[in-house]
Amino acid sequence: RVAAAGPPSVPSQPLGDPAALPSSINRGALVKELQTMLNSKETNVKRLLCTPHGLNREVQCDVLRVGKSNTYRCYLRLSGSDHRRMCIFEATRSRVGKLKNSQYRVMMPSADPRLLEPSVGALDTDALDAVLYCGKVRSYNLSGANFAVYDDGVKVDNGEKLPDGAHPRRQLAALTFNKSSSRRVPMTMRVLVPTPGTADAGLDLLEALQALPIEERVEMPEDMQLLKLVPPRWNADEQMFQLFCEGRASCMSNKNVQLANTAAPHEAALQVGKLSNNMFNVDMRGVVSPYQAFCSALAVFDQSSVRRRF
């Protein structure tokens, strides 16, 4: 089941709708609005958007694929309005490693000065890139069935010393897609995220998720939250599994997914749905941040291209 209303229009500018541009809302007002939306007193915009704070209301984003490219822009709906969308993330896919696994490098848009701290002065290109870099999504096998979401920290090997002002790289989410041997049995999708307030712990979420049994109910540690796919239904006409939900999706698609926290199974924690040819909704509540939600959507888009059957 999909929403009856038509899809929203494409944002009129790369940075968003006129009502959400820097000329319409200054940094101070924007931070206050984000603090209310995201249930946090944090003043650093990147940390507001990336760190899970525990959302007490649904937060909505529209994700636009730029033409036929592998670049995606994520627009946050300020006050939930489709006329006040601002671009908060941009990501482009590349292929890395011997197996050419997918990697998405996620940045905040450089053209929006509100995303920078007021104390930041003039920066060269490399320094600005480092400030705007949020992290990356990386797949870890040939079929792209395992994904890890990283923050903007530095990878440290063999006791290397961290650069001044840097922190070790941390996983903010892990995702697994498990295929079935039968076309009539849907694939499963699971997402493991840190409990809000524990994101700095440096948990190996992907290893922990792969160790969890798929079907059995397990008691989760206090520092982790498990999201599981709401089971899709078989569409005999389309010969595919499709999700029927009450979200904003307005097109039938194998990219439509709805996940619930096993600790609160009657409430959708993350919904990804197709709105039009190149636009998708990414909506979240509870333990998921906008950054975690966007990165999870990128994994869904990526996995849908390798014969995902739901």
What is the sign of the dihedral through the CA atoms of 297, 64, 69 and 230?
positive
**Which of the residues in the chain have pLDDT under 50?**
1, 4, 307-310
Q: What is the pLDDT of residues 95-132, one digit of tens each?
A: 988 878 899 999 999 999 999 998 887 788 888 999 99
Question: Do the beta carbons of residue 82 and residue 11 sit within 8 Å?
Answer: no
Nearest to 93 by CA among 309, 305, 307, 308: 305
Q: Residue 89 sits in a domain of what CATH number?
A: 3.20.90.10
Q: How many Cβ atoms sit within 10 Å of the Cβ of residue 138?
A: 20
Residue-level pLDDT at 182: 60
Residue 3 lies in a domain: no
Residue-level pLDDT at 141: 79
3-state SS class at 78: helix
Question: Do the beta carbons of residue 193 and residue 208 sit within 8 Å?
Answer: no
Residue-level pLDDT at 256: 84
What total of structural domains would you count in the chain?
A: 1
Residue 48 lies in a domain: yes
Backbone angles phi, psi at 5, to 5 degrees: -65, 150
Rounded distance between C-alpha atoms, residue 132 and residue 128, angstroms: 6
Residue-level pLDDT at 238: 74
Residue 219 lies in a domain: yes
Residue-level pLDDT at 162: 82
Domain residues for the domain of 136 are 18-304
Residue 7 lies in a domain: no
Residue 193 lies in a domain: yes
Rounded distance between C-alpha atoms, residue 238 and residue 253, angstroms: 10
Residue 6 lies in a domain: no
Residue 54 lies in a domain: yes
Residue-level pLDDT at 34: 98
Q: What is the pLDDT of residues 133-182, one digit of tens each?
A: 999 999 987 655 899 999 999 888 777 788 777 888 999 999 998 876 66
Residue 2 lies in a domain: no
